[in-house]
Amino acid sequence: MYYGAVKKCDIANGPGVRVSLFVSGCRNRCKNCFQPETWAFDYGNEFTPKTQDEIIKMLIPSYISGLTVLGGEPFECENQKELLPFLKRVKKEFPNKTIWAFTGFTFEELRDAESRAYCEETEEILCLIDVLVDGRFVEEKKDITLKFRGSSNQRIIDLKKTLFSKEIVLWQG
């Protein structure tokens, strides 16, 4: 897996100060995507054990609220295979920090065994994520007043409550 960037102190992609990992690779190709360079699976740098260790160190300070994973597309199956062990490590080392993920897929697509986003790792990854921002960016529904999303069709889902209740529960912040 490759990544386009790691932001050490991100305040735009989740609450508080976060570390954000922008993975590479996306087949959704949303019109007017804000990072089309991340569509290529080999864009940026290789996601190595050293990279992972560096991100873990960035998560240590108490003022860091958690990790945000976005892209590109974290839920491309190629990326899920690499992300799962890393997200497990983050949860183990920082059980009180949150993991947010942004995806162009809907939650329903991620749970659908017929979807191209669904693979062996998907359910376990969903269980590690606290908040999921789902849905493709839709230019015609762009709204710059929305918090943590670009278009009004996207949802901010409290994944822990959603998985427990078996119905979509939106994050209340």
The per-residue pLDDT for range 86-101, each reduced to its tens digit, is: 999 999 999 999 999 9
Looking at the DSSP bridge assignments, the partners of residue 66 are 18, 98
Q: What percent of the chain is predicted at pLDDT more than 70?
A: 100
**Alpha-carbon gap, residue 106 to 154, rounded angstroms:** 8
The structure's pTM equals: 0.95
**Alpha-carbon gap, residue 121 to 169, rounded angstroms:** 22
Res 75: pLDDT:
98
Residue 57: pLDDT band by 50, 70, 90 thresholds?
very high
- Segment 59-74 mean pLDDT: 97
The per-residue pLDDT for range 72-87, each reduced to its tens digit, is: 999 999 999 999 999 9
- Beta-sheet pairing, 17-23 with 131-134: unpaired
Q: Is residue 76 part of a domain?
A: yes
CATH number of 20's domain:
3.20.20.70
Residue 157: pLDDT band by 50, 70, 90 thresholds?
very high
Q: Is the dihedral of CA 76, 80, 86, 91 positive or negative?
A: positive
Task: Count up the domains in the chain and report the number.
Answer: 1
- Domain limits for position 137: 2-165
Q: Is residue 156 part of a domain?
A: yes
Q: Is residue 51 part of a domain?
A: yes
Q: Is residue 170 part of a domain?
A: no
Q: Which of 81, 73, 80, 88 is nearest to 43 (CA)?
A: 73
Q: Is residue 171 part of a domain?
A: no
